[in-house]
Amino acid sequence: MTQRPRYQRILLKLSGEVLMGQGAFGIDSITVARVAGEIAAAREAGHQVCVVVGGGNIFRGLAAAAKGFERSSADYMGMLATVMNALAVQNALEQIGVDTRVMSAIPMPQVCEAYIRRRAIRHMEKGRIVIFAAGTGNPFFTTDTGAALRAAEMNCDALFKGTSVDGVYDADPKKVPDATRYETVTFSRVLSDDLKVMDASAVALCRDNDIPIVVFNIRETGNLASVLAGEGTATVVLNEGNA
């Protein structure tokens, strides 16, 4: 296997479901503490890290809209769920001595900082973990798209997508046992074959800004540090000229 490059500044995208642990809903404190330890280890290894957390463990706007909620209201409710998750991750990080800031796309000064790009970059330069909450601040956009947007704004070297599988496959490995895992795959292949890495607008945003997407299993302890070191199992989504 060809060793992957080391990335200095990364955005880590966590699904809300990761924070549930083995539960069916909500936030599992033990799981959040473990994930916080992974993030802290990445910072200790010299990486600048920012984080976007989804809200699907608490409220999923698209699913609510399908049940009759007005879509914009449902999406705003989902954004508030991401703020709750961001505060949970911040609490876990600060309990182990990591300086952290939560920045929300929807201003709520009693709870966290409002998102200001230059301030966020300054926090990262000072070694703080920045957690971006409330997606893009707009309905009809997923937290995947919010993650791609923040990765571009923060001039990140890569977007790390922490999931429950160890990369990108040509079919769902949970349903197709002999599905083939890609070591690298192009943005164009992801879009044309609908490989479900992230939603299409997020993939296109990363493609247009030449930001690799690194898909790995965040549920495996120590895996973030391993993949950041250019080792471990993951799939890197790249532009054609870099694949």
Identify the CA nearest to 238 among candidates 207, 195, 197: 207
Query: Bigger pLDDT: 171 or 115?
Result: 115
- The residue-averaged pLDDT of 229-242 equals 88
The string of DSSP codes covering 160-204 is EEEESSSSEESS-TTT-TTPPEESEEEHHHHHHTT--SS-HHHHH
Q: What is the pLDDT of residue 63?
A: 81
What is residue 120's three-state secondary structure? helix
Q: What is the pLDDT of residue 4?
A: 67
With a CB cutoff of 8 Å and minimum separation 6, the contacts of 19 are 27, 28, 31, 32, 35, 53, 57, 85, 88, 89
| Residues 1, 25: Cα–Cα separation, whole Å | 38
Q: Thinking of the domain 9-242, which architecture would CATH place it in?
A: 3-Layer(aba) Sandwich (3.40)
As a 3-state breakdown, the chain gives helix, strand, coil percent values, each rounded to 5, of 40, 20, 40
Domain residues of the chain, as ranges? 9-242
Pairing label, strands 100-104, 113-114 = parallel
Phi first, then psi, for residue 241 (nearest 5°) are -70, -15
Q: Is the pTM of this model over 0.75?
A: yes
Of the candidate ranges 26-40, 56-70, 144-158, the one whose mean pLDDT is the lowest: 56-70
Share of the chain above pLDDT 90, in %: 81
Q: What is the pLDDT of residue 12?
A: 98
- The residue-averaged pLDDT of 59-78 equals 87
Residue 241 has pLDDT above 80, yes or no: no
Residue 147 has pLDDT above 70, yes or no: yes
Residue 61 has pLDDT above 80, yes or no: no
Q: What is the pLDDT of residue 173?
A: 85
| Residues 169, 210: Cα–Cα separation, whole Å | 21
Residue 60 has pLDDT above 90, yes or no: no
- The residue-averaged pLDDT of 142-166 equals 96
The 10s digit of each residue's pLDDT in 203-224 is 999 999 999 999 999 998 999 9
Q: What is the pLDDT of residue 1?
A: 47
